[in-house]
Amino acid sequence: MNGPVPDVLIIGAGAGGCAMAWRLAELGVDALVLDAGPPFATTDFHADVADWEDHLFPERPGSQGRCTAQLDRLDPSWDGLRSWSRNYGPQAPGDQRRFAAYQHVRGLGGSTLHFTAESHRLHPAAMALRSRFGVAVDWPFDYAALAPHYEAAERQLGTAGSPADRSRPRGGDFPLPPHRPSYASQRLMAATEPLALGWVPNPVAIPSQAYGGRPPCIYCGQCHRGCQVGDKGSFDRVFLAPAVASGRCSVRHGLRVLRIEAEGERVRRVVCRDARNVDVVLEARVVVLAAGAIESPRLLLNSAAAHSPEGLCNESGQVGRHFMETVSTVLSGLHPEPLGSMRGLPADIISWRYNAPDAIPGLVGGCRFTPATATAELAGPVNHARRMLESWGDALIADLRRTYGSAFALGAIGESLPHDKAFVALDATERDADGLPLARIHAGHEASTPARLKFMLDKSREILAAFGITDIREQITSYDLFNATHVFGTCRMGADPARSVVDAGGRSHRWPNLFVADASVFPTSGGGEAPTLTIAAIAHRSAGIVRDALARRDI
């Protein structure tokens, strides 16, 4: 056994783990946070080197996760949804959906290190899909119950948003005023006014003015490469650092948790391996699992023992079920005029017009639209030339001079409804360096997904046409390219132990001192909202429940 026994041991320093540690520290509870990955510093990020386009988020030893996937065969009747590039052809040739990327960072801050910091509250109706629309499930609490926790998380993140954004009930204004939309976005808003899309500045955890020791954004547009200036609300900086500074939180990085062990009616210890491959065993009164929607179910399944032969917390076979993925489309093309589209925040404005669960005619489950030029990697001149232009030699140089800054991408993200064919299990053959089975994502399309993707593509074409872009040069969709950006749902929370893994407080139905606090607890995904603010709000709420349980000694 190593070191003193903390009240709470948190596995994973990503969005959920950092928010949990911060709130526990505020509530006077000591916590130890473990993460498999390394810490990152602003000096690790390089958006300022000459070949910056060729460097995405940096890799450091231990920062890469791995998983495998079992994906659908494609249905020829939906061929119109397939991904293609005018210059590079089909992106998933053949009849099989392709695994494009597993982008989750291991490190202090988790995937918030390279997130674009969209900071969204869920649509209230998206939390009641069963009772209001007859599909999926309801959340075990409503928007009003989460609202104070959203407020606390937004305050800490310094979310910048507009008072004109009436898309969600709010008790007050956003902590910071909105960022001014870029020139390209202003042009889009003006040109598409007849479509009544209700564009508003996208709420982001990026300061529009100095806030909480963070400088204001410099608009390099490269949040997904890691924030060099340190203004972005990555959770290591905004939640973990103040938790540590409070004296109530300590952190150990480079420690891979291999399994959680239980004894009697409690979980007792976690078994880890450090960077030198030495095993470390740690005890705690409470364990909070926050390893993300792929790794949390994997760890529970890899923790099978005599008392839990199918995996920890898996008495009802619910661990790993109800996996929800990113349902997305991006259309890119050239505007006839210069837009300066290489400048500005990624996704700086948003349309919530089709976000409500009943907003897309004939479907349950909405979507949202944003500019996506930076996240589609079209802000740099090399990618612009490669993917938007077809000429060679002197003609290419002339075209580049004439068109650079006029590339524009429109993105949409939609509801991913839970269903039986989407789940995370253990891979039967592939193992990690510690000899443990990798997670295998089984991601079949839910029945309504192709129709939702078609709506997103058709509407994107209409928006781009109104903007003046009819010459589409790339269409990228999650129909044939699986991309684990927003993932949720594999340790669902709910009241019924037969249909969920944890209760409304994130507490295991089986083990009273085990909690889950990451994207895996989401019962439904929302209509394209970015999940991280909700992860933070849920963790903030659950931290109070952990504290109360510790105080009552019913842990």
Ligand X SMILES: Cc1cc2nc3c(=O)[nH]c(=O)nc-3n(C[C@H](O)[C@H](O)[C@H](O)COP(=O)(O)OP(=O)(O)OC[C@H]3O[C@@H](n4cnc5c(N)ncnc54)[C@H](O)[C@@H]3O)c2cc1C
Q: Is 74 an interacting residue with respect to ligand X (CB under 6 A)?
A: no
In the complex with ligand X, the residue whose CB is nearer, 36 or 327, is 36
Q: Is 532 an interacting residue with respect to ligand X (CB under 6 A)?
A: yes
Rounded to whole angstroms, how far apart are CA atoms 209 and 226? Answer: 19
Tokens of 1: 């056994």
Q: Of 345, 441, 530, 550, which lies in the binding site for ligand X, with binding defined by CB under 6 A?
A: 530
Q: Is 14 an interacting residue with respect to ligand X (CB under 6 A)?
A: yes
Q: Of 9, 20, 117, 126, which lies in the binding site for ligand X, with binding defined by CB under 6 A?
A: 117
Q: In angstroms, give the least distance from the CB of 288 to ligand X.
A: 11
Q: Is 399 an interacting residue with respect to ligand X (CB under 6 A)?
A: no
Q: Is 12 an interacting residue with respect to ligand X (CB under 6 A)?
A: yes
Q: In angstroms, give the least distance from the CB of 230 to ligand X.
A: 17
Rounded to whole angstroms, how far apart are CA atoms 372 and 226? Answer: 17
Q: Is 165 an interacting residue with respect to ligand X (CB under 6 A)?
A: no
Of 2-10, 102-110, 121-129, 547-555, which part binds ligand X (CB under 6 A)?
102-110
Q: Of 104, 123, 168, 214, which lies in the binding site for ligand X, with binding defined by CB under 6 A?
A: 104
Q: In angstroms, give the least distance from the CB of 544 to ligand X.
A: 18
Q: In angstroms, give the least distance from the CB of 234 to ligand X.
A: 9
Mark 31-70 with x for binding to ligand X (rule: CB under 6 A) and - for no binding: ---xxxx---------------------------------
Q: Is 295 an interacting residue with respect to ligand X (CB under 6 A)?
A: yes
SS3 208: coil
Q: Is 202 an interacting residue with respect to ligand X (CB under 6 A)?
A: no
Q: Is 115 an interacting residue with respect to ligand X (CB under 6 A)?
A: yes
The two beta strands, 8-11 and 31-35, are parallel
Nearest residue to ligand X on Cβ basis:
14
Rounded to whole angstroms, how far apart are CA atoms 532 and 519? Answer: 8
Rounded to whole angstroms, how far apart are CA atoms 302 and 304? Answer: 6
Return the amino acid letter for 303. S
> Which residue reads 């990555």 in tokens?
234
Of 40-48, 286-294, 364-372, 423-431, which part binds ligand X (CB under 6 A)?
286-294
Q: In angstroms, give the least distance from the CB of 376 to ligand X.
A: 12
In the complex with ligand X, the residue whose CB is nearer, 114 or 285, is 114
Cite the beta strand spans of 52-110 per DSSP E.
68-71, 84-85, 89-90, 98-101
Q: Of 82, 114, 321, 492, which lies in the binding site for ligand X, with binding defined by CB under 6 A?
A: 114
Residue 349 contacts residue 371 (beta carbons within 8 Å) = yes
Residue 411 contacts residue 370 (beta carbons within 8 Å) = yes
Q: Is 103 an interacting residue with respect to ligand X (CB under 6 A)?
A: yes
The alpha helices in 116-257, defined as continuous H runs, are 129-133, 143-157, 183-191, 235, 241-245
Q: Which long-range contacts (CB under 8 A, 24 or more apart) does 168-176 make?
A: 168/121, 168/123, 168/124, 168/143, 169/124, 169/143, 169/144, 171/147, 174/203, 175/211, 176/207, 176/208, 176/209, 176/211
Rounded to whole angstroms, how far apart are CA atoms 125 and 327? Answer: 19
Number of residues that bind ligand X (CB under 6 A): 39
Q: Is 146 an interacting residue with respect to ligand X (CB under 6 A)?
A: no
Cite the beta strand spans of 43-181 per DSSP E.
68-71, 84-85, 89-90, 98-101
Cα-Cα-Cα-Cα torsion 103, 106, 110, 111, nearest 10 degrees, comes to -10
Rounded to whole angstroms, how far apart are CA atoms 290 and 506? Answer: 11
Q: In angstroms, give the least distance from the CB of 275 to ligand X.
A: 12
Q: In angstroms, give the least distance from the CB of 114 to ligand X.
A: 5
- Residues found in the chain: 555
Element (H, E) at 15: helix 15-26
- Identify residues 238-267 at the interface with ligand X (CB under 6 A): 256-257
Q: Is 112 an interacting residue with respect to ligand X (CB under 6 A)?
A: yes
Q: In angstroms, give the least distance from the CB of 375 to ligand X.
A: 7
Q: Is 416 an interacting residue with respect to ligand X (CB under 6 A)?
A: no
Q: Which long-range contacts (CB under 8 A, 24 or more apart) does 188-192 make?
A: 188/349, 188/371, 188/408, 188/463, 188/467, 189/349, 191/466, 191/467, 191/468, 192/463, 192/466, 192/467
Q: Is 405 an interacting residue with respect to ligand X (CB under 6 A)?
A: no
Q: Is 473 an interacting residue with respect to ligand X (CB under 6 A)?
A: no
List interacting residues with ligand X (CB under 6 A).
11-16, 34-37, 103-104, 106-107, 110-112, 114-118, 224, 256-257, 290-293, 295, 299, 485-486, 518-519, 530-532, 535
